[in-house]
């Protein structure tokens, strides 16, 4: 794909990077390449998922076949972390080519849904300080191309760990959790479960597509909804879900760099989504 200019539905015109330009940008900003997440943190999370710690499952009911070694092997294949089990601390990596390949697969999925016409699409993020920048741009794009971007259960209360009460709120049609006036980072799957239950209670159709991350994505995929999502190298659940066919596409990236760093990635993604619409 060559460089081009694409009109953003929010009124912005951005230059679409070539694949090689995007690859260089991902490495330079550490969205991929040598990422900030240390190896020991990655391995700790892989063990926790293998032990079926609910915090790391993101609402997915995975099979009993995933050992720690299996999870590490999958993450090496899908994300590009080191496959060496003896590499236990220090630097770890996300392969930028795997990131771009997954972005293209995600774009093709989203484009196919939008091409059907009148699609119902739901956006949600557990990373308001990072990935929100991508989700809001995608939500504007979906609406501009005829999708109904739904916002169910707004204001609904969820009780998370330790009895903490939080509420579902939307900013620019993207669902997040609000805790006493602040949007918060969360792995919790319960908010997505609450959204789907609210739709069922009202007799409204579930979304045709969910674009999300963390437990928002996991719970949607577990419910059988076509789901695409973003995940860091220390969050193996969505990649396991992808391997089991519950998540359509999981894009590996650092999920909490400066929001503006995601702009070239977002331009690339939107251009591919809309090129045939």
Q: Which of 23-37, 93-107, 148-162, 231-245 has the lowest mean pLDDT?
A: 148-162
pLDDT band (50, 70, 90) for residue 13: very low
pLDDT given for residue 39 in this prediction: 98
Q: What is the DSSP string of 209-226?
A: EEEEEHHHHHHHHHTT--
Tokens of 250: 């999981």
Whether the Cβ atoms of residue 18 and residue 4 lie closer than 8 Å to each other: no
Cα(230)–Cα(126) distance, integer angstroms: 10
pLDDT given for residue 160 in this prediction: 72
For 103-156, write each residue's pLDDT tens digit: 999 999 999 999 998 999 999 999 999 999 999 999 999 999 999 999 999 999
Tokens of 108: 């093709």
pLDDT given for residue 211 in this prediction: 99
For 169-212, write each residue's pLDDT tens digit: 999 999 999 999 999 999 999 999 999 999 999 999 999 999 99
pLDDT of 8 over the 70 cut: no
Cα(36)–Cα(31) distance, integer angstroms: 9
pLDDT of 6 over the 90 cut: no
pLDDT given for residue 171 in this prediction: 98
Q: What is the DSSP string of 84-113?
A: -TT--SS--EE-HHHHHHHHHHHHHHHHHH
Cα(201)–Cα(223) distance, integer angstroms: 15
Cα(40)–Cα(86) distance, integer angstroms: 11
DSSP-derived 3-state class of residue 235: coil
For 206-231, write each residue's pLDDT tens digit: 999 999 999 999 999 999 999 999 99
Whether the Cβ atoms of residue 194 and residue 218 lie closer than 8 Å to each other: no
Helix (H) or strand (E) holding 200: helix 190-202
Give the mean pLDDT of the chain: 94
Whether the Cβ atoms of residue 16 and residue 3 lie closer than 8 Å to each other: yes
pLDDT band (50, 70, 90) for residue 164: confident
pLDDT given for residue 161 in this prediction: 66
* Cβ within 8 Å of residue 100, ≥6 positions away: 19, 22, 23, 26, 268
pLDDT given for residue 163 in this prediction: 73
pLDDT given for residue 173 in this prediction: 98
CA dist list (Å): 171 to 23, 92, 109, 218, 259: 30, 33, 24, 21, 15
Separate counts of helices (H) and strands (E) for the chain: 10, 13
* Cβ within 8 Å of residue 75, ≥6 positions away: 42, 46, 81, 233, 236, 239
pLDDT of 7 over the 80 cut: no
């Amino acid at each position: 794909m060559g460089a081009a200019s694409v009109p953003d539905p929010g009124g912005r015109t951005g230059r679409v990077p070539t694949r090689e330009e995007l690859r260089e940008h991902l490495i330079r900003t550490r969205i991929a390449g040598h990422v900030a997440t240390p190896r020991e943190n990655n391995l700790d999370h892989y063990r926790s998922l293998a032990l079926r710690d609910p915090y790391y499952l993101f609402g997915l009911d995975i099979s009993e076949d995933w050992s720690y070694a299996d999870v590490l092997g999958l993450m090496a294949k899908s994300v590009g972390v080191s496959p060496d089990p003896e590499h236990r601390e220090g630097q770890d990596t996300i392969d930028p080519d795997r990131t771009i390949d997954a972005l293209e697969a995600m774009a093709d999925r989203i484009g196919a849904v939008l091409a059907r016409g009148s699609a119902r699409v739901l956006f949600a993020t557990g990373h308001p300080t990072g990935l929100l920048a991508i989700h809001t741009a995608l939500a504007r794009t979906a609406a501009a191309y005829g999708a109904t971007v739904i916002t169910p259960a707004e204001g609904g209360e969820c009780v998370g760990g330790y009895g903490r009460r939080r509420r579902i709120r939307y900013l620019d049609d993207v669902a997040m959790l609000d805790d006493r006036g602040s949007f918060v980072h969360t792995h919790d799957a319960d908010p997505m479960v609450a959204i789907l239950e609210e739709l069922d209670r009202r007799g409204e159709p579930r979304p045709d597509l969910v674009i999300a991350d963390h437990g928002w994505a996991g719970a949607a995929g577990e419910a059988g909804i076509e789901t695409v999502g973003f995940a860091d190298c220390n969050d193996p659940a969505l990649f396991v879900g992808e391997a089991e066919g519950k998540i359509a596409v999981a894009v590996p990236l650092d999920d909490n760099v400066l929001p503006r760093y995601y702009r070239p990635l977002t331009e690339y993604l939107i251009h591919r989504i809309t090129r045939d619409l």
